[in-house]
Each structure stands twice: as C-alpha cells, then as structure tokens.
Structure 1
Amino acid sequence: MDTYQFHDMTFTWLKGGTTFMDGGAMFGVVPKPLWEKKYPVNDKNQIELPSDPLFIQYKGHNILLETGLGFGKFTEKQLRNYGVSDQSLVEDNLAQLGFLPEDIDIIMMTHLHFDHACGLTKWEDEKLVSAFPNAKIYVSDVEWNEMKNPNVRSRNTYWKENWEPIESQIITYSQSIDILDGIEMIHTGGHSDGHSIVIFKQKEETIIHLADLMPTHAHQNPLWVLAYDDYPMTSVFAKEKWVNEGLRNNYWFSFYHDAFYRMIKWSEDGKEIMNKLDRTR
C-alpha cells in the first residue's frame, strides 16, 4: 500500500477496485490524438481507472475519503460494461493495517456515483448492511437529495443499494464544512450537482483533492472535462478556479482514479512535474 506522511496526517491508499471506461467519454470533446498522448488507452478505447479510497489517520480519527467499488455489488452485465477488472480489497487492506471496518469513524464522500459509493454497503447474510457502521458519512445536501431521488440520467449511477442501509449515518452540508482542523469539504457542483472537493492543510502545505473534476493527472486542463459531467461548464469554471489556485500556491494535487500517480506537484505554469508520489501496482 502506498503511504505518505503529511505532517500530523498519515495517508494510506487502499485498493478499491478498477474499472476500464471509454476514453472518449472520460475526456469529453477533447480529440483522441490529444488525450491519448497524456493517458494510455487499450485496443477497446478504454482507459484504466482505479477507484482507490484514501485512509487518513489524524488526531485519533480513522477517516476514509471515498469507499471504492465494494465487492459483489455488480451484475455480470455491469462488470462487462464498466470494464471491472478487480473489486475492493478495502476491508483486507484495513486488516493488514490492524483496523476493522468498525474502527472507521469518518467517511468523506465527494459524491455518490457508484464507483465512489458502492463500498459504503456490503452483503451480509444475503442482506445489504453498512460496511462501516460506526462512521459519520459526510456529503453535500444537494448530492444526498439526488442520491435518494435520481433523475432519468442519474439513476444509472445513484443506486438505492448504496444509500438505504446507511441513511442514518449521513451528515449533510450546503456550501462547505470543516470536518476536522485542517480538513475541509467544499461543494463545487459540475461533475454532479452535489459534487465536492476536499482540502487538507498542515502547517504551510496544502493538498487539494479535486475528485472527479480532475480524476487523473491528464485532466489538469480546465477545459478537459468528462462527458459524464452533468454540468460541464460548472466543472470548467470550478476547475479553472481551483487548479489555478493550486498551481499558484504550490499545492499537491491528489487523485482517486489515476493509474500512475497518487499525488503531483506541478510548476506554476502547470507544464512540468516538480514532485510526485507514484502509484505502485
């Protein structure tokens, strides 16, 4: 497991499963000759997209950022359509670190699409139950409302199996919320109407997690947004704001879906990688 010590915060990336999604959809209107130079594609025009939760130990709290694909949550058709090559090892990874799912007390969900939220619940005695029964689960109120009442477009990714067992654990917020000192969630919209980002601050350093506004390092350009984005222009404006702030102030950028990097620091113009944490296989 990849780890990083961010002052008083210990980061460990867990294995949450992997999908291979259509590269064209993941880069929207960007022509393939441009994006394939930055991110490799297979012969099915699919790109590799891990869904690896971040486990954070901080001030006596055991925190998850996202929850991965879960295990046994997909039909054979879904496994094929989403190109699922492996499912979650989160519980096993936690055990290797000496923790049980019951030890997780905070979960931050940037949004509740299936590739982020399937790990919130699990099968137990042929019944779906909370995978982390003692956790407070933070998500924006807009996202939570749509999760429970999806529209004709979003119902393919907001599944009742992922919210009904954990409804009593949910804590919602509107614009932003301080989870703990140095950890803030901020509602941005864009990828989904309720999408949020997470900012970690320690001393004079900052890590910004843009979630699916920047799912991989190849999505750095604010104009490179996903065809999956419900509100693409909102994504563009939010990315422009936060990417520029991050580059200007030498932030780390962390990723949930990147097959190659856990985090990157770019030069101020965004053209050169100044520091990086590679993702090990």
Structure 2
Amino acid sequence: MFSYRHAFHAGNHADVLKHTVLIATLQHLLNKEAALLVLDTHAGAGLYRLDGDYASTSAESADGVARILAASAPLAQALQDYADAVRAFNRGSAARVYPGSPFIAQRLLRAHDRLKLCELHPSDARALEGNVAQLEAGRQVAVLREDGFEAVRKFLPPPARRALLLCDPSYEIKSDYARVPALLQEVLKRFPTGVYAIWYPLIARPEAHELPRRLKALTAKAGKPWLHATLTVKGGKAAAGAGGERRPGLPASGMFLVNPPYTLEPALRAALPQLAELLAQDRHAGWGLESAGG
C-alpha cells in the first residue's frame, strides 16, 4: 500500500501538466477577494530534491521540468507562469528543488485563504510536516495524516463557499480508479459549485481509459461544465526500442476539471501544443483538450 513515493517522479511530464493546470486555475480563483479553501487529497512530501537519491534514480525531471526551464523560444503564458513558480524555489538557472502541489498552492494563496493537505504515507507525511513547518504559515496550512478520499469530505461545503479540490492519487492501488469517481459524486452533492481537479495516468489499463468516461458521465448528470486535458509524450505499447524492448515510464496523463474557470481552456489551448513539442520523447507525442458546458 505504501510503496509509491512521488520523490522518484518529481518534476516529470505529468507534474508539468498537473501544476500548469493548477497554477492557471488558482490564478483565476484568486482574482476574487473572498477566501478560498484548497484541498489536496494526496499531498506527498510537498518539496523534492531533484539532485537527491530518489529523483536522480529515475531522472524523470530531465524530460519534464528541465526541458521547460531550458526552452529558448518564448513560452505560452501558462507555461511561463509554471516556470516562474519553479524558479521561485531555486537560485540560478538549474532546478535543484521541485515544489509539489502544496508549495505551489501556498505560494499563490493570500493570508485569508486556507490549505488542507492530506497524506497517509508515513514517511511522506513526516516530510510534509517538516517542510510545511518551515513556511511558518500558522493556521493557513494544515497537514492531516488521513486518507484524503475520506478527510476532504468534512471540509465541504466551506464557510466562504469557495473551494478548489485537487485529487491526484498514485493509482498504484486498483481501487483508486473506483474511489475517484465516488469522491467526485459525493463532493458534487455536498458542494456543487466547487472546482474539482483530478489527475490520472494514461496507461495500458482498462480502468485508466474508463476513468475519464466515468467522470464525464457523472459531471454531465450533475449538470456541471467540465474540461479534459491530456498530454502524451511517447507511445505506450508501440514505444519499443530497436531491439523490441519496451520503453519504461509513464507515456501520458490527463487532468479532468469540473466547474473549470472560463479562462482555463484558452490558456491550455495555447500551452498544450508547446508542451507536447517540448516534452516529446518520440513521434507519438501529442495533446488533447475537450470541454462541455453545464
């Protein structure tokens, strides 16, 4: 149950997509003065060393955030905002520290906003508590050593009636593919106007390809608008070397949002083609973006 460690994958192409979407969404929501509650169901350790033992073992950031920071051509605004957010945690041109969703969100939030971080992995929860303590953010940030699928329910609806929920489990456990739609169904009943962002891997499993279809059906039944963005950096089964060996690693991922900001679709339509070009690992790279109104 606790074998997955995001430190091995920090700054990879999936993080680039997820955090680009997160920043663009938060920037819009924070234009309103009313307090915002941000809920993170699977917060991880919060901060990651890209030159540490974990990240350097897989070196996935080299084909992710490092390519964005090294880009010579002007970046789309959403990608530029992402690059600026990462650089804010580093000195010089190279990224040695990668901010996870908790630290990206906290840096953007205002004093009267609140951030609830759930993490069940014992090692990551300890690391998260230590990293958050350095922020000296007081009551603004709370770390909960609880199952994020269950814990976030008690915070909805929020007092200020504004919330963004980020749900990005590892999907290492097959049941996550069922728990994500179940969570979305319940939170839409508890707080129909919340913004819900769900990350998922696009891998060669039926559950992974069925998940966005289930999310679309649930959202349509609730009469809510949705947006679905995907980024592919290489082929799956087709991605084999000259000797026929399969290429390791995650080939693609997606972000599904319910009640997305109206500014998000045009921002991603400008950013995703550039993202696919910069992060491509073979000829199968590409992107997708679709949406539907409530």
Calculate the TM-score normalised by the size of structure 1: 0.36
Larger RCO (CA within 8 A; separation ≥ 6): 2
Instruction: Name the structure where strand makes up a greater proportion of residues.
Output: 1
Instruction: Name the structure where helix makes up a greater proportion of residues.
Output: 2
Calculate the TM-score normalised by the size of structure 2: 0.35
